[in-house]
Amino acid sequence: AIERTLSIIKPDATRRNLTGKINAKFEDAGLRIVAQKRIHLSLAQAGKFYEVHKDRPFYGELCEFMASEPVVVQVLEGEGAIAKNREVMGATNPANADEGTIRKEFALSVGENSVHGSDAPETAAQEIAFFFSGLEITG
């Protein structure tokens, strides 16, 4: 089925001017960027977005990193977009990521891992609604 998923190009990647190279990976994989904006999250907004991780030891570090510099938030659309995006991103820890994936090529560490992608249909819907109104998304 055609799905939509929420993607974030993280501060380690925007800082190194990798937005275009990462978007090329998405587009080459058949994912269409149907919404996109560059924003600088506040610490509170980052904390809210990653609330499910609030009891993890890395939560504070994760939120500070995500609020440290601008990110690019986007909606990717395509056949099986949620799983496809996760394939293109590669494993969370770049040390475990397959050749050719975004995280293998660009990520610096498990924290500074260049991209975020929704992990399931329910979280995708929730995460898209966190950043975008319906009016901002176009086929």
Nearer to ligand CMP, 110 or 137 (CB): 110
Stretch that binds ligand CMP, among 18-26, 32-40, 55-63, 124-132 (CB under 6 A): 55-63
- Residue 53 known to be catalytic: no
**Is 101 known as a binding-site position?**
no
Residue 12 CB, shortest distance to ligand CMP, in Å, is: 10
Q: Is 16 annotated as a binding residue?
A: no
Cα separation, 54 vs 62, in Å, equals 10
Q: Please report how close the Cβ of residue 9 comes to ligand CMP at its closest, in angstroms.
A: 11
**Measured distance between the N- and C-terminal CA atoms of the chain, rounded to whole angstroms:** 15
**106-136: b (≥16 Cβ within 10 Å) or e:** bbeeebbbbbbbbeeeeebeebbeebbeeee
Rule CB under 6 A: say whether 36 interacts with ligand CMP.
no
Q: What angle do CA 64, 17, 57 make, to 5 degrees?
A: 20
Catalytic residue numbers read 116
Name the residues that contact ligand CMP, by CB under 6 A.
53, 58, 61-62, 92, 110-111, 113, 116
